Amino acid sequence: MLLPENYAENLKLHIPSNLNKLLADIINELLKRINVPQNEIEKITEIIYQRRYHDMFAWTRNYDVQETRRIAEEKGEKRGEKIGEKRGEKIGEKRGEKIGEEKGIKMVAKNLLQMGEDIVKVIKATGLSEEEVLELSTQ
């Protein structure tokens, strides 16, 4: 919404001092709540105290809350993806190691069985259950 051409000048002429202070206090609190840096808040409130309202409105042209949110969300998503990839890689590595280890143990058990070792020794040597060793002996 565009303000009328002389709006800021009319404010300067018609706002009493107590309302000007109230305006500065409200703007100050609003800017704090949307996390504007303190040095920028001080600039804006000083502009209000000096009744330079046109400068206050000019400052807001460079301040786009929606664009700032969009950029922050985009950065957050990228960071989350990177963290997820790293965690996924670690989980994948652990799963792969576990699967490889299980396959290796089963391969050793199968070889022992083929060499004629009895099932009890294969169970003790590999830590596999009796059912797993029996299943391997039929393959």
Same domain, 31 and 85: no
Residue 2 lies in a domain: no
Using a pLDDT cut of 90, give the percent of the chain over it.
9
Which are the contacts of 36, defined by CB distance < 8 A and separation ≥ 6?
Answer: 63
Residue 22 lies in a domain: yes
Give the domain range for residue 111. 68-137
Residues 6-16 have a mean pLDDT of 71
Q: How confident is the model at residue 38 (pLDDT cuts 50, 70, 90)?
A: very high
Residue 1 lies in a domain: no
- Chain Cα centroid distance, residue 38: 25
Same domain, 35 and 96: no
- Chain Cα centroid distance, residue 130: 48
Q: Which amino acid is at 131?
A: E
Residue 13 lies in a domain: yes
Residue 75 lies in a domain: yes
Name the maximum alpha-carbon separation found in the chain: 105
Give a three-class secondary structure readout of 14-29.
Answer: HCCHHHHHHHHHHHHH
Q: pTM (2 decimals)?
A: 0.41
Q: What is the pLDDT of residue 19?
A: 87
Residues 40-50 have a mean pLDDT of 89
Q: Which amino acid is at 110?
A: K
Q: What is the pLDDT of residue 101?
A: 87
For residue 109, give the nearest of 86, 92, 89, 130 by alpha carbon. Answer: 130
pLDDT greater than 90 at residue 83: no
Residue with tokens 């206090």: 25
Same domain, 87 and 32: no
Same domain, 73 and 133: yes
Domain count, the chain: 2
pLDDT greater than 80 at residue 12: no
